Amino acid sequence: MFESVNLSRSDDLNLSGVELTHRSIKVSIIITLGVIITLGNIAVLLVITSSVAGWSRSSRYFLLSLTAADSAFGLLVMPLNLSVSLLKDYSEGPDLLCHIVAFCNATIYSTCMYTLATISLERYIAVFYPLQYSSLMTRKRTLLLIAFSWCFPPCLLAPITFPDGIIEVHFSNASLVCNPSYSTNVGYSISLTCFIFFPCSGIMTFANLRVWCAAKRQRLKLRKYYCERRSRHNVASRVLVPVMAAYYTCWTPCMAAMIYNAVSGQTVSEWIEFVIVWLPACNGFLNCIFYFWINRSFRRKFHLVLQRLTVSLCPKLAETLGCCNMSKSQFVTVLDNNNTVHGRSSSVSSTCTLISVV
């Protein structure tokens, strides 16, 4: 009898040790991901706050909105959930703090999807309606679209904030996230996907597919009439295909698991839940690569900004490393000349100039 009790206690100690090991690994992954996302988007903000050649004013507004939404993953979502995982007593039931954290998570996720959809819509207008672009994408309409992307999700997700409302919230030890219990209200869970994921995915797929087809037709015409070299890079495939592949890879598993949980009332395994819950945060870092670093004008402006910061903050280090041979006044002149380049009304980024790339 005593031997069986001792064995059960040892099993409990081993189980708790395994859980602590898994928790430490998950916390390390979340912190690393948050640091990468934050640093990547800070670098983007340093460049995009000033004008970049080839980017219009409207495109800069949309990309600033996307950068702010992606930065929220590292600055808001991850710290809040890690704080709850450290402060909350897991024997307690749902509380107001967990409901607020779940509301913030769902709002940031939804805002990112709406922002990606508005960027795809603007690119579609820039490519297919270049002459009407300035009249269609005015400053007022641009700001209204951005405001809709940030204000509509909180209104739609407001029921999550009420502890005694229709949506129950619990803290998941598997994903270290405050998750709504969508199985308690199947209709509301399905409505979230119908109002957020499916419309945004449809707009992105339609817009990017049309732009990709237009670029492909233009490329074939240029190859036919001007004997274009086959070795020339396909800009459409290099930008649009990775953007859509990253979007569906990061967001589809999370939405599928939410629908599966709502319909069947069952959950997936521990590590699968952890991966699919945090995959959308990875999209916040991939956006920095596909929307910014792949653009040549952005890389050039980043080098200028980085050199200017080096000269301003550490002039001795700059002279020692020999990273620049200009004086500070020359740097200011170069940056000012770059800032005076007005973005063409029909050009928002590398994917907006696909038709005129050659």
Paired tokens of 127: 């490519």
Identify the pLDDT of residue 84. Answer: 85
CATH code, domain carrying 249: 1.20.1070.10
- 358 in a domain, yes or no? no
Residue-number span of the structural domain to which 299 is assigned: 2-338+346-353
pLDDT digits (tens, 9 = 90+) for 217-265: 877 777 776 655 544 555 556 678 888 888 899 888 888 888 777 777 7
Identify the pLDDT of residue 255. Answer: 84
Sites in the chain below the pLDDT cut of 70:
1-16, 50-55, 88-94, 165, 182-189, 225-238, 311-358
| Number of independent structural domains in the chain | 1
**Residue 256 CA to chain centroid, in angstroms?**
19
Identify the pLDDT of residue 144. Answer: 94
Which string of DSSP letters, residue by residue, matches 12-80?
HHHHHHHHHHHHHHHHHHHHHHHHHHHHHHHHHHHHHTS--TT--HHHHHHHHHHHHHHHHIIIIIHHH
Do 237 and 213 touch, CB atoms closer than 8 A? no
Identify the pLDDT of residue 6. Answer: 42
- 259 in a domain, yes or no? yes
- 253 in a domain, yes or no? yes
Contacts 24+ apart (CB under 8 A), 17-24: 19/173, 22/270, 23/85, 23/173, 23/176
pLDDT digits (tens, 9 = 90+) for 181-195: 766 666 666 777 788
Kindly give, in sequence order, each residue whose CB lies less than 8 Å from that of residue 89, ignoring residues fewer than 6 positions away.
none
Paired tokens of 131: 């002459």
CA 68-145-143 angle, to 5 degrees, is 75
Identify the pLDDT of residue 141. Answer: 92
- 286 in a domain, yes or no? yes
Do 101 and 113 touch, CB atoms closer than 8 A? no
Identify the pLDDT of residue 287. Answer: 81
Do 96 and 142 touch, CB atoms closer than 8 A? no
Q: How many helices (H) and strands (E) does the chain have?
A: 13, 2
> CA 346, CA 337: separation in Å to the nearest integer?
21
The DSSP bridge partners found for residue 180 are: 169
Identify the pLDDT of residue 8. Answer: 42
> CA 277, CA 195: separation in Å to the nearest integer?
19
Identify the pLDDT of residue 188. Answer: 65
